[in-house]
A = this chain, B = another copy of it.
Amino acid sequence: MPRDGTTTRTRILDVAERLVIDNGFAATSVDEIIEASGTSKGSFFHHFSSKRDLAGELVQRYADADVAVLRRALAEVETVADPVERVLAFVGFFVDQADQLMTEQSNCLYVAALTERQLVSDGATGPVGRAVEAWRADFASLLDAALAARGRTGEVDSGALADHLFVTFEGAFLLCRSTGDPSHMRAQLTSFRALLAALLRE
C-alpha cells in the first residue's frame, strides 16, 4: 500500500460520494463516512479539515469527471462529417450509456449539493456552474454548426438548447427517483434526441 495517504483519501471520497448520492449531504454524517470507509477520525481530519471541506472536494472531483465525459463524447463524434448527424451522435453517446449510468448510481451528486443553500452560498457548488458552462460552450458549437447547415441560424437560442442536455440529465435523475424506474434516463435522453432530430430535419 502506498504510504502517501492517497489510497485512504480516495477511499474516503469514494465512500462519501456514494453515501451523499444515496442519502443527501446533510443526512450523511462524518461518523458514518468514517465507519463505512474503515478509517479513523484522526485519519479523516488529516485529509479534510471539515465536512464542508470534504463537500467542496467531492463536488470538484465529480465536476472534473463530468467534464471528462464531455471531452470523451466530443472526441467520439469528431469524425462524423455531417454537422446534423454529429449533434445526434453526440446525444446518442449518452443514450447508449444511460442504462449503465443508472446501474452505477441512483442520483446525481449535483442534485444533493445544490439542494443545500449553505453549500451553494459558501461556494462549494461553484464547480457545478463551471461544468455547466463547459458543456454549454462545446455543445452550442455543435448545435450552431448544425443549425447553419440547415440555414436556421438564430431561429433558436443554441446556448439554452445546449443547457437542455444538463436539464434532461438532472430532471431524469429525479424522474427515476420519483417513480423508482431507472429506465426513464434512457427514455428522456431518447426524447431529447428525437426532438433535436425534428428541429434539424431538412
In the complex, are the beta carbons of A194 and B114 less than 8 A apart? Answer: no
Chain A interface residue bracket vs B: 35 or more
- Quickly give the copy total for this chain: 2
In the complex, are the beta carbons of B110 and A178 less than 8 A apart? Answer: yes
Please provide the chain A residues from 143 to 202 with a CB less than 8 Å away from any CB of chain B in the complex. Answer: 156-157, 160-161, 163-164, 166-172, 174-175, 177-180, 184, 187-188, 190-192, 194-196, 198-199, 201
A161 CB → nearest B CB, Å: 5
Q: Which of B161, B179, B187, B196 contacts A129 (CB 8 A)?
A: B179
- Dominant secondary structure of chain A at its interface with chain B: helix
A residues in contact (CB < 8 Å) with B: 22-27, 106-107, 110-112, 114-118, 120, 125, 128-129, 132, 156-157, 160-161, 163-164, 166-172, 174-175, 177-180, 184, 187-188, 190-192, 194-196, 198-199, 201
